[in-house]
Structure 1
Amino acid sequence: MPIRVARITAFTVVLIFLFEFSRRVSDKLGNEDVPGLLAAVGVVALLFSIRAVVTESAMGPEAAGQKDFLWGVSLGCWTTILVRLIEPYIAN
């Protein structure tokens, strides 16, 4: 179980890091945020969350890596959305 939590956490942290890195590079290049980006990330998060729940109940222990990936990506997406929503309040 601890290895599973570590894998899910690793996927989550990597996704958050890559999203933030991409955003900072985009800001440095002078690009604006794409309208509807959070909505798109929300849809991806919802789809990965649904897939994670279904995979968790339908597949056996042989799919542990796939299940951990799905949980990690969904948690990473939800965390990214949460951070982007509260960022204006904590930045000041």
Structure 2
Amino acid sequence: MVYIDPRKPRRLGDKGRAAKARAMARQRAAEARRQKLRLLVHGIIITLGIWGFRHTDLNSSDPFESVTLVLMDILFCIYLLLMVFIEAWNRAK
């Protein structure tokens, strides 16, 4: 008696299996590209945030250093908190 796996479709030839495998490989490659882009964007934002923290000077007469960078620091902190909550949400699923 031959065991028939119910998860595998019967009458699906080698061409069908190969097409299915190619589709899965394309899907994995697309996900890897999205992950790399996401890491690049997060890296740029984190680098700008750290740069802003290092160059903020509240006693400066230059409005860029005393106002703009402070606002950038606040946005950076909000961004980091948002990333922490999103990561916690994704892990809780």
- TM bucket (normalised to shorter chain) is 0.3 to 0.5
TM-score, normalisation: structure 1: 0.43
Return the index of the structure with the highest Cα Rg. Answer: 2
The structure with more helix, counted as a fraction of residues: 1
Higher relative CO (Cα under 8 Å, sequence separation at least 6) belongs to: 1
